[in-house]
Amino acid sequence: MFPAFLALGGALVYGSADFLGGLAAKRLRSIVVTAVAAATGLVLLLGAYPFVGGQWSAADVAWGVLSGFTGAIAIVLLYACLAIGPMSILSPLTAVVSAVLPIAWGLAVEGESLSWIGYAGLVIALVAVVLVGFVPGEKVVRPSIRGLVYATGAGLALGAFLIVIDRTSDESGVVPLMVNRTVSAILTTAAVGVLAIAAVRAGRRASSVFSATAAHLGATPTGHADLEHAHVHPAQAAVTASRTSAWWLAIGCGILDALANVVILSALRIGDLAIVSALTAMYPAGTILLAAVVLRERIAPVQWLGLGLALAAGGMLALG
């Protein structure tokens, strides 16, 4: 029962991180937000390590490195996915795929089994993921093959992250997450550096790469994205009125994302991968709830239904 509640709580924290990352990306370039969040998460985990501890082993370090690369792949594919749209279809698709892959792995490969109420909870959870991740108000158009491929690939990369992290030993503590953040920080910082060099060669200031460009995409180091709030909103513009506030929002994104990963890792180590992954995919719930509280955005009836089903699924999976 406890792992299910941990996973649901972790999903809400993930969504909160996405919310802050999305706001920061209104003023800062998405890759910059991701780099700042990754570095912030790494600092937080390094500070917690002396108190939490964890044994170092070649296998756990390797899993941590691999999880870092899966996160980077997810980020790239999500950027492409958001740029193509429509979000009303591709957002739920990404979340569902990110849940289905580890669910299938846990049941088929790791031999996990559930009671009938647990299996029913998985089905309800997937329905809830679709409803919660729905983007209301967006014009519904037929998605392109490329958009579907990118969204599916992003979901697979997110699901692979959970599978990889689940392979780490209990004795490793937060070591795999520290390695994950190190890889993410290196890759994203290098990407920002390349953009800065290109800007200087083009006769612009290196700092010009910090500013948000064209598509405003929110992102977190693990590859989640603020799909619901990728467009400019007057209230959001007020929240991110200055560049300084955007930097602090990016730092807050990194703190929450690192905390979410610790919670999810704890849930995986005491619970089943299938259950934890199904509930982790509820992360858009945290985003829409914060948007309702902070930005006064209306939660669509279909999303309320999804939130209700998410709670029901959590209870069923806790019993299953």
C-alpha count within 13 angstroms, C-beta hemisphere, residue 156: 8
Q: How far apart are CA 68 and CA 318, in angstroms?
A: 29
Specify whether the CB–CB gap between 282 and 8 falls below 8 A. yes
Q: What is the pLDDT of residue 145?
A: 87
Per-residue model confidence as pLDDT tens digits over 128-178? 888 887 766 656 567 788 888 988 998 899 999 999 999 999 999 999 999
Q: What is the distance of C-alpha 131 from the center of its chain?
A: 17
Q: How far apart are CA 274 and CA 268, in angstroms?
A: 9
Average pLDDT estimate for 266-278: 91
Q: What is the pLDDT of residue 168?
A: 95
Per-residue model confidence as pLDDT tens digits over 166-224? 999 999 999 999 999 999 999 999 999 998 999 899 888 888 888 776 545 555 555 56
- For the chain, percent of residues with pLDDT exceeding 70: 86
Q: What is the pLDDT of residue 252?
A: 94
Helix (H, G, I), strand (E, B) or coil at 102: helix
The model's pTM is 0.86
State the amino acid at position 19 in one-letter form: F
